[in-house]
Amino acid sequence: MTKIGAHISAAGDISLAPARAIADGCECFQFFSRPPQGGNAKPITEAQAKKFISESRTHDLDSYIHAPYYINLASADNRIYHGSISVLREELERGSTLGCLGMMFHPGSAKDLGSEAGLAKVIKGIAEIMNGYTGSCQLLIEISAGAGEIIGDTFEEIALIINAPELKNYPIGVCFDTCHAFASGYDLRSKETVGATFKKFDETIGLKRLGVIHANDSKTELGSHKDRHEHIGDGFITLSGFKAIIGIAKENNINLILETPEDNGKDVKDIRTLKKLRDKKDAPMFKKPRTK
């Protein structure tokens, strides 16, 4: 079953996140396991992990970690580069400790190196992150909005990363952010354009790599390259687009996580909106082929 949820605070005590998710009506959720803008991560105690996993299982919650914002695997500064590798590996391990399904991250900006050198550095960094990793939390590359020299704004660039010789044997997945994809020029406004976009995704990356969808409407128009999240149905993607996106998610058992603004409870309203769209029955659109 496709589950719907949102970004939830884990402030104070990481084990409180599942209860907060349940209170908002979430069936799945994501959270930061460390300060997103910088700072050391608090150790996860055995008691915290046990409580987190127990509550998640009791309420059939799926969970994901979002990596901090300062990550940059395409940085020319090796202190930032190696620090990003260390943090991402730690977050994967922390996610495995908590039973999280995946950990999404933004590869970073190559503004000081150029896209070709930056892409090569991202691939090398991910290879180092995955080397010897045996945990259960999946690494998920999040598609970006494409501003400046940001890595990962096209399906082709993401495919180059995950299919690189150093990485092709690792189970690396993709987090499809609807606002970011729309800002990068992928049309999601109708059943027809959503079908065409995900058909291209499957041909370029493969739907088997789709780990989770960030469900965010867009304050800006198609191809704006601006990351501006809007409430569901209030932006340029529209409810028709999200109805079709949910159709894709349902056919492929993909969860959706909201990152819409938390103003006056509208983020909770967005959860209800997506659930209503999910629970309406429609004809299949585009389904990934079965794998052995």
The pLDDT value given to residue 37: 87
Q: Report pLDDT digits (tens) over 86-117.
A: 999 999 999 999 999 999 999 999 998 999 99
* CA dist list (Å): 56 to 49, 251, 274, 275: 11, 24, 21, 19
Mean pLDDT, residues 184-190: 98
DSSP 67: P
Is the model's pTM score more than 0.85?
yes
Cα–Cα distances (Å) from 143 to 3, 146, 155, 159, in that order, read 20, 9, 8, 11
Q: What does residue 193 show for φ and ψ, rounded to 5 degrees?
A: -75, -35
Q: Using CB atoms within 10 Å of the CB of residue 24, give its burial: 0 to 12 exposed, 13 to 18 middle, 19+ buried.
A: middle
Band of pLDDT at residue 290, cut at 50, 70 and 90: very low
Helices (H), the chain: 17-23, 46-58, 78-98, 115-130, 155-162, 178-183, 191-204, 238-252, 266-278
Name 176's bridge partners.
213
pLDDT at 56: 98
Residue 6's beta-bridge partner residues?
29, 258
Q: What is the rounded distance in angstroms from the CA atom of residue 278 to the CA atom of residue 28? A: 14
Q: What is the mean pLDDT of residues 179-201?
A: 98
Q: Distance between CA atoms of 205 and 130, rounded to whole angstroms? A: 19
CA distance 26 to 97: 21
Tokens 């990550």 map to which residue? 71
Distance linking the first and last C-alpha atoms of the chain: 20
Q: Is the pLDDT of residue 55 over 60?
A: yes
Q: What is the C-alpha separation between 271 and 256, in angstroms, rounded?
A: 10
Q: How far apart are CA 33 and CA 12, in angstroms?
A: 11
**Token digits of residue 231:** 């409430």
3-class secondary structure for 124-143? HHHHHHHCCCCCCCEEEEEC
Q: At what angle do helices 155-162 and 191-204 cross, to 10 degrees?
A: 30
Query: According to the model, what pLDDT value does residue 23 have?
Result: 95
Q: Is the pLDDT of residue 283 over 50?
A: no
Q: What pLDDT sits at residue 266? A: 67
Class of domain 4-278: alpha beta
| The three-state (H, E, C) secondary structure of 96-124, written as one string | HHHCCCEEEECCCECCCCCHHHHHHHHHH
For the chain, the structural domain boundaries read 4-278
Show the CA angle centred on residue 214, arms to residues 212 and 216, nearest 5°.
160
- What is the sign, positive or negative, of the torsion defined by CA atoms of 140, 142, 148, 154? positive
Exposed (0-12), middle (13-18) or buried (19+): which is 264, by Cβ within 10 Å? exposed
Confidence of residue 292 (pLDDT cuts 50, 70, 90): very low
Per the DSSP assignment, residues forming a β-bridge with 177 are 214
The predicted structure's pLDDT at residue 280: 81
